[in-house]
Structure 1
């Protein structure tokens, strides 16, 4: 296996012609034209066109808007590189000259950067194909933002229609002073589940509450009691987050409605904790409704979401070592597991190792101006993913391309030639 220093040296050589201005033009164009989940037609077309021009065999329309490019060059491993394409229903407030032109839609999670990195890495590796052997598969994934894009690609046969990977790589832009590349071996992202709750009451006139069973009051008790699940039913050494993000009831201030609806999200890092939390939610909802005398039992619907993302430890150690050689020893560190969730791991067939890391992107001026002295204080005070103020520093365009290129080269054959 080629040494990390050799991979880093080759990566520098073949990316030496990258120009920030060229990457900025592509990135800014994507940022101006964000598209929501499964509507990424323009983005997909631009990715597909660039891949075809670079020599890839391209398939469009995978899971509706997904793109897969395949470049075979001799015998060797099959490496998949993945980037997600969708934007969010967020109204941009950055004031950037290349801000979104689509009202109420923004690349607030940085997927425009992901596709820029993916495209540039694919082009670099295609141009330098004489330095490696194997097969490179480039995956432009739709609908990562709770849209089930990875699962949809699997259902559309991505594992059967394209060469089976020997390794899968992905990365995500993140808040934090630009110029760092956090790696976490093993568990790096949490599982996520959504829960819909319907509390059935007995509606009536607001002047006669004694003739009703008020679902708003009952649902409010549910929300309050749910706050004890993590604090009283999850061990101190375990991690879980339970969020009530939606509470809908009624249409008139003087009418007690017949039902209230809640939307919950649960994040966990251990399958046993996951099941315990889900069981507790159901018990609390049913108990509060019984205590209130609701005429009909509540509806509790669990939507199994994304599984945990668990990096292969040996593969992560390998890629982290390459990134240290390439970008500096001090730039790579273990941030530990995060409570965020991703569907990236679903793209890896059973038994296939994968690695997923981060590229920090907060401009130095924004970081320096953020309140706080300690790193974590500043981290919590700079715009993060999903914020209408999220604006990555363009300085990460070339390094983020190099991280993907070097990861691919670390597994493809012939990197020492």
Structure 2
């Protein structure tokens, strides 16, 4: 699952040469950032589900000699279990607010649900695995847990779903050294589109044939 995290730390602006007359939101934000990591390592039962909290943006200040009044932070929360997901949201809010309070600052915490966990339907996956194997000429492997999120999860909550990855690393390159997406060096080998088309068309035909056989069997009962 994926949740969007936004935190605003409000302090008291003043001169950088006299920080005792200020409430420094930058220092407080640094402490909050460290505190978020202990939410995972010390308050989350990782035997239930892995969890990740990443802050990817920090904004604050406009001059080197001024303690600003606010710092804004934004990040993402990832896990695979709904109970862990809910607990992370509560612990993030608690940790952030208490750290800010200890510095006499104020913290506003917003955790906005983005995407659910994408889970393949076991029966559908078992039915379609041979189709994928044929489409990829046997080059199929079970994917490990992935920290990325996908809006396909909304569909899979309503009907049985099957989500798979299409490898696009050029032949001859070690996938371990290939640049991932969200990286400026990411490169797609377009010949993979042939495999993808073969896989999707094969899945469609197999699904329709299975559905037709099921209808016939139901009528003959």
Judge same fold: TM > 0.5, yes or no. yes
CA distance in 2, matches of 1:332, 1:207: 61
1:267 alignment partner, SS class: strand
Find out whether 1:406 has 2:214 as its counterpart. no
Find out whether 1:385 has 2:194 as its counterpart. no
Match runs of 1:350-365 below 5 Å = 350=158, 352-365=159-172
Per the normalisation by structure 2, the TM-score is: 0.89
Q: Could you tell me which residue of structure 1 aligns to residue 90 of structure 2?
A: 279
> Greater share of strand residues, 1 or 2?
1
In the TM superposition, what whole-angstrom CA distance separates every residue of 1:68-123 from its partner, at most 9, and x where no partner exists?
xxxxxxxxxxxxxxxxxxxxxxxxxxxxxxxxxxxxxxxxxxxxxxxxxxxxxxxx
Find out whether 1:344 has 2:152 as its counterpart. yes
Q: Is the 2:179–2:186 Cα contact (8 Å) retained in structure 1?
A: yes
In the TM superposition, what whole-angstrom CA distance separates every residue of 1:220-251 from its partner, at most 9, and x where no partner exists?
10011111122212224220111011111110
- Which among 280, 289, 292 is matched to residue 103 of structure 2? 292
- Which among 302, 314, 321 is matched to residue 130 of structure 2? 321
2:165 alignment partner, SS class: strand
Deviation (angstroms), 1:347 = 3.5
- Which among 199, 217, 223 is matched to residue 33 of structure 2? 223
Find out whether 1:201 has 2:18 as its counterpart. no
Q: Is the 2:155–2:161 Cα contact (8 Å) retained in structure 1?
A: no
2:119 alignment partner, SS class: strand
Per the normalisation by structure 1, the TM-score is: 0.48
In the TM superposition, what whole-angstrom CA distance separates every residue of 1:120-167 from its partner, at most 9, and x where no partner exists?
xxxxxxxxxxxxxxxxxxxxxxxxxxxxxxxxxxxxxxxxxxxxxxxx
Deviation (angstroms), 1:348 = 5.0
Match runs of 1:217-256 below 5 Å = 217-237=27-47, 238-256=49-67
RMSD (Å) for aligned C-alpha atoms: 1.8
Match runs of 1:39-50 below 5 Å = none
Gaps of 5+ in 2: 214-221
Against the structure 1 CA distance between its residues 202 and 334, is the aligned structure 2 distance closer, same or farther, given a 3 Å change threshold?
A: same
- Which among 192, 200, 218 is matched to residue 396 of structure 1? 192
Deviation (angstroms), 1:394 = 2.1
Against the structure 1 CA distance between its residues 196 and 326, is the aligned structure 2 distance closer, same or farther, given a 3 Å change threshold?
A: closer
Q: Could you tell me which residue of structure 1 aligns to residue 218 of structure 2?
A: none
Against the structure 1 CA distance between its residues 322 and 301, is the aligned structure 2 distance closer, same or farther, given a 3 Å change threshold?
A: same
Q: Could you tell me which residue of structure 2 aligns to residue 153 of structure 1?
A: none
Greater RCO, 1 or 2 (C-alpha within 8 Å, sep 6+): 1
Against the structure 1 CA distance between its residues 348 and 224, is the aligned structure 2 distance closer, same or farther, given a 3 Å change threshold?
A: closer
Deviation (angstroms), 1:327 = 3.1
1:321 alignment partner, SS class: helix
Gaps of 5+ in 1: 1-190, 368-377
CA distance in 1, matches of 2:136, 2:61: 56
Matched length: 211
1:358 alignment partner, SS class: coil
